[in-house]
Amino acid sequence: MSDKYVVIGNPIAHSKSPAIHSQFAAQTRQRLEYQTLLAPTDGFELSVHNFIVAGGKGANVTVPFKEQAFTLCTELSDDARLAGAVNTLSFLPDGQIRGDNTDGQGLVADLLSHTSLNHKVVLLIGAGGAARGAILPLLRSGVKQLIISNRTFEKAQMLAKQFKDYGNITAVPMAELEFGFDIIINSTSASLAGDLPGVPVHIFSPDTLCYDMMYGAELTAFNAWAKSHGVVNCIDGLGMLVGQAAISFEIWRGVKPDVDIVLSQLRQALEAK
């Protein structure tokens, strides 16, 4: 009998997680079933409980339930505890529920496949759940300085204060941002609606690497904007998606799948649409 896993969200039909984890399972010869699970917006906890009763071993969690998943856990990794959000649930034999947040680790792994992070000055745009999950892995990666900027400056200040013991992190209002960043990461969901974050265009330069956590068949709105202001190297978040899934898979199964093969297949499928 195959072990059962799901990705829980609302909406969820669009999720690429079943395809990703099925490929991981085939690669590593793991017997498992991975499906989507649509939970009512007011029924996340019951959905998780019913899945556990049905023999579920673990679950990924996506919008809008990552904060609810956090409150459901009896054990938390450092990444999840500091992010205040969980994207990976493990249902342990003793009835405990362990929560991890692999989003930031997936981001860092994807960045490292393109560049070194050592001694880099990094700008993180946004202060929502995606940003919170990224901060600790970025600080651990060896960056020289992490600057966080957000439309509501107070939220950026709160995050800088929360993570100040873990590395060199500073909050700066968007209007006061200067040039000189090695890496700029957009953690906002603005690109989904074709919108742009309110940062000044002088932060972009040909030497800057720009990373948008969103992805699509075409350039995201943020990356297209960056390119129009001289940025050469722009990366979208598809590699982050596959990377965070690989870490979840390793947590559950104890084996590390090959990210590059799956990422290449996903990219080809995306571009063929």
Architecture of domain 104-238 in this structure: 3-Layer(aba) Sandwich (3.40)
Q: Is 273 annotated as a binding residue?
A: no
pLDDT at 204: 97
230: left (phi over 0), alpha (psi -120 to 50) or beta: left
Q: Is 16 annotated as a binding residue?
A: yes
pLDDT at 271: 86
Give the pLDDT of the chain (273 residues) as one tens digit per residue.
799 999 999 999 989 999 999 999 999 999 999 999 999 999 999 999 999 999 999 999 998 999 999 999 999 999 999 999 999 999 999 999 999 999 999 999 999 999 999 999 999 999 988 899 999 999 999 999 999 999 999 999 999 999 999 999 999 999 999 999 999 999 998 877 889 999 999 999 999 999 999 998 899 999 999 999 999 999 999 999 999 999 999 999 999 999 999 999 999 998 887
* Cα–Cα dist 234/184, whole Å: 10
Q: Is 153 annotated as a binding residue?
A: yes
* Cα–Cα dist 171/127, whole Å: 10
Number of C-beta neighbours around residue 100 at 10 A: 25
Assigned token pair, 161: 């204060």
Architecture of domain 3-101 in this structure: 3-Layer(aba) Sandwich (3.40)
Q: Is 103 annotated as a binding residue?
A: yes
pLDDT at 192: 77
Supply φ then ψ for residue 47, to 5 degrees. Answer: -60, -45
pLDDT at 199: 97
Question: Is there a contact between 156 and 180 (Cβ–Cβ < 8 Å)?
Answer: no
Owner of token pair 């799956």:
262
pLDDT at 129: 85
> Per-residue pLDDT tens for 18-42?
999 999 999 999 999 999 999 999 9
The DSSP secondary structure of 89-139, one letter per residue, reads: EEE-TTS-EEEE--HHHHHHHHHHTTS--TT-EEEEE--SHHHHHHHHHHH
Catalytic site positions: 66
Helix, strand, coil in percent for the chain, rounding step 5? 45, 20, 35
The domain segmentation of the chain, as residue ranges, is: 3-101, 104-238
